[in-house]
């Protein structure tokens, strides 16, 4: 619920239009990489907790007022959790960001993997940051909530590769081979063959060294993440200790319902301020 003073990533990219007329790219590959790494890290966190966003886009990506800005993903209204597998049925999202299998669910009769859907949308976000336009669009049917708009996008997706789209062909020439390779592996029609988040993180373009200010900000984010991970690990340990103490109290209550005989051990006592519980919680800021 932080205040995102930097506005949306949509506005940020749109404001680069004048520079793009000279350079050919809206954001440089280094700047796009900086945002994309944060974005993928956030999506990976969601997937690790069995949550698919299903409406990832520039409009739902907010920025704070840092220099360079940090990313905040928002609007989880279309998000869905899963228990055993990530297969889902509902056709939902924004057409220009939707993967072919999401559009072609046939009224819910064909399941799709929510994780692969998010990866496709992440690739669209990266491409728009770089080139300022969508590879597959519904220009003939402007209303994104119509089946005609969905069909128009889907027909483009299955009829041509992202790098064969006429209005983007010249701009694509300005991308490095490594960047194009990553996009090629994201925009794969067969979701089972599409690159995974772990594979994205190992890709040379994703892992390349960035200019000082971007690298320093990413290092700061990593440090913050490690602190949060340590805190959460402490919370889990504390929760286990609380459960153990609760069991001890329950045993005491059961024991108190009858008087011990000579053959039974004396009443058990416990220290309610044992360090494994209250001291640990207070250390991690729970009190």
- β-strand 71-73 against 61-63: which pairing, if any? antiparallel
Tell me the per-residue pLDDT of 132-152, one tens digit each, with 9 for 90 and over.
999 999 999 999 999 999 999
Q: Contact 214/31 with Cβ under 8 angstroms?
A: yes
Instruction: Identify the bridge partners of residue 52 per DSSP, sorted by sequence position.
Output: 80
Question: Reduced to 3 states, what is the DSSP secondary structure of residue 108?
Answer: coil
Cβ atoms of 47 and 54 within 8 Å: the answer is: no
The domain locations on the chain are 7-210, 227-283
Where does the chain have alpha helices with state H? Answer: 9-14, 17-23, 29-48, 100-103, 114-131, 147-159, 169-172, 177-186, 197-202, 204-207, 212-255, 280-283
Q: What is the pLDDT of residue 19?
A: 79
CA angle, 112 then 53 then 17, to 5°: 110
Q: What pLDDT, on a 0 to 100 scale, did the predictor assign at position 3?
A: 83
* pLDDT value at residue 249: 82
* 120 and 134 Cβ atoms separated by less than 8 Å: no
Q: What is the DSSP letter of 138?
A: -
Residue 55 designated active-site: yes
pLDDT tens over the chain, length 287 residues: 678 999 999 999 999 888 777 777 899 999 999 999 999 999 999 999 999 999 999 999 999 999 999 999 999 999 999 988 889 999 999 999 999 999 998 776 789 999 999 999 999 999 999 999 999 999 999 999 999 999 999 999 999 999 998 888 888 999 999 999 999 999 999 999 999 999 999 999 999 999 999 999 999 999 998 998 888 888 877 777 778 888 888 887 877 776 666 666 666 666 665 555 555 555 555 43
Terminal-residue alpha carbon distance, the chain: 22
Q: What is the pTM assigned to this prediction?
A: 0.82
Spot the catalytic one: 55, 137, 198, 263: 55
pLDDT the model gives residue 254? 77
The CATH fold assigned to 7-210 is: Transferase(Phosphotransferase); domain 1 (1.10.510)
């Amino acid at each position: 619920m932080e205040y995102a003073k930097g506005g949306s990533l949509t506005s940020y990219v749109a404001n680069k239009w004048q520079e793009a007329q000279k350079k050919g790219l809206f954001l440089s590959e280094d700047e796009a990489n900086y945002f994309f790494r944060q974005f993928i890290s956030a999506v990976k966190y969601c997937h690790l907790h069995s949550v698919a966003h299903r409406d990832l886009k520039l409009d739902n990506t907010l920025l704070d007022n840092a220099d360079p800005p940090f990313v905040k993903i928002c609007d989880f209204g279309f998000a869905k959790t899963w228990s055993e597998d990530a297969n889902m049925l509902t056709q939902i999202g924004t057409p220009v960001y939707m993967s072919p299998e999401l559009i072609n669910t046939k009224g819910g009769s064909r399941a799709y993997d929510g994780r692969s859907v998010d990866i496709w949308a992440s690739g669209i976000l990266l491409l728009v940051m770089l080139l300022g336009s969508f590879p597959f669009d519904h220009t003939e049917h402007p209303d994104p909530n119509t089946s005609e708009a969905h069909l128009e996008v889907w027909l483009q997706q299955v009829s041509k590769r992202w790098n064969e789209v006429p209005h983007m062909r010249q701009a694509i020439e300005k991308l490095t081979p490594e960047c194009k390779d990553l996009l090629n592996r994201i925009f794969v029609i067969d979701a089972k063959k599409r690159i995974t988040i772990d594979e994205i993180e190992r890709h040379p373009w994703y892992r390349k060294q960035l200019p000082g200010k971007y690298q320093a900000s990413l290092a700061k984010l990593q440090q913050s993440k490690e602190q949060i991970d340590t805190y959460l690990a402490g919370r889990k340990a504390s929760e286990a200790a609380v459960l153990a103490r609760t069991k001890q109290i329950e045993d005491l209550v059961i024991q108190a319902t009858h008087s011990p005989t000579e053959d039974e051990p004396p009443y058990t006592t416990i220290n309610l301020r044992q360090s494994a519980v209250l001291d640990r919680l207070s250390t991690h800021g729970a009190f």
